[in-house]
């Protein structure tokens, strides 16, 4: 089964998680690059949440690895304002046909909001069943303290999909 991890990141967290997942699965990872340059530093970066809430579809660069060539596709992304990031919305639309009938995994990162609303919006976006996991930063720490357990469980859940 050919697997790939795609990730979108504004501040680096998802890149770390995507690399850990890809290392464990011994597969490639590739960054989803949005053409629009977004503010990534300081409190003003949170203004990007408006375009997520408004369901803006980000224009993204063509992926080097076309999803058509893979059976299992994992997407790692933050959620913004409890909503899909514009870049991942753009990815889902651009590769809608290629993603059909694939096993899809979704790993979300966030700062502490309950991820259920975001999960349901991402499920609507990808129009199918998703194997999900969410990583929440602990207070004064950069990573989820349960990160390795969560990755193990996610990989095990992905493996049991028929
Ligand atoms: C525009 C914006 C909106 C965000 N909205 C939420 C939110 O609704 N709930 C939450 O828990 N975290 C929210 N966050 C925090 C990010 O989800 C979190 O920092 C994530 O790990 C960032 O991933 P990255 O470093 O890969 O970009 C938001 C961050 C940004 C920049």
Give the pLDDT mean for 71-90. Answer: 97
The rounded Å distance from CA 81 to ligand 1 centre is 8
The rounded Å distance from CA 162 to ligand 1 centre is 32
Q: Which H or E run includes 30?
A: strand 28-31
**For the chain, which domains are there?**
3-159 (3.40.50.360)
Percent of the chain with pLDDT over 70: 98
Lowest mean pLDDT among 14-28, 60-74, 111-125, 135-149: 135-149
Percent of the chain with pLDDT over 90: 87
Predicted pLDDT at 161 = 59
- Residue 5 Cβ contacting ligand 1 at under 6 Å: no
Per the CB < 8 A criterion, the answer to whether 75 and 67 are in contact is no
pLDDT surpassing 50 at residue 135: yes
Nearest atom, ligand 1, residue 49 CA? 1
Q: What is the pLDDT of residues 16-57, one digit of tens each?
A: 999 999 999 999 999 999 999 999 999 999 999 999 999 999
- Residue 93 Cβ contacting ligand 1 at under 6 Å: no
pLDDT surpassing 60 at residue 80: yes
Nearest atom, ligand 1, residue 52 CA? 1
Residues 5-32: b if buried by 16+ CB within 10 A, e if exposed? bbbbbbeebbebbbebbbeebebebebb
Residues 124-158: b if buried by 16+ CB within 10 A, e if exposed? ebbeeebbbbbbbeeeeeebbeebeebbeebbeeb
Q: What is the mean pLDDT of the chain?
A: 94
Per the CB < 8 A criterion, the answer to whether 126 and 100 are in contact is no
The rounded Å distance from CA 147 to ligand 1 centre is 17
State pTM to two decimals. 0.96
Predicted pLDDT at 159 = 87
Give the pLDDT mean for 118-139. Answer: 91
């Amino acid at each position: 089964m050919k697997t790939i991890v795609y990730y979108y990141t504004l501040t680096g967290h998802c890149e770390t998680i995507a690399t850990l997942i890809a290392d464990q699965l011994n597969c490639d990872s590739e960054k989803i690059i949005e053409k629009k340059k977004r503010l990534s530093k300081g409190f003003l970066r949170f203004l990007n949440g408006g375009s997520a809430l408004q369901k803006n579809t980000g224009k993204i660069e063509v992926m080097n690895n076309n999803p058509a060539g893979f059976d299992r596709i994992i997407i790692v992304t933050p959620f913004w304002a409890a909503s899909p990031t514009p870049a991942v919305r753009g990815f889902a639309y651009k590769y809608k046909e290629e993603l059909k009938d694939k096993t899809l995994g979704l790993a979300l990162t966030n700062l502490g909001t309950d991820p259920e609303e975001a999960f349901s919006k991402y499920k609507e976006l990808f129009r199918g069943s998703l194997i999900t996991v969410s990583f929440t930063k602990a207070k004064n720490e950069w990573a989820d303290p349960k990160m390795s357990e969560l990755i193990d469980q996610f990989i095990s859940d992905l493996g049991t999909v028929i």
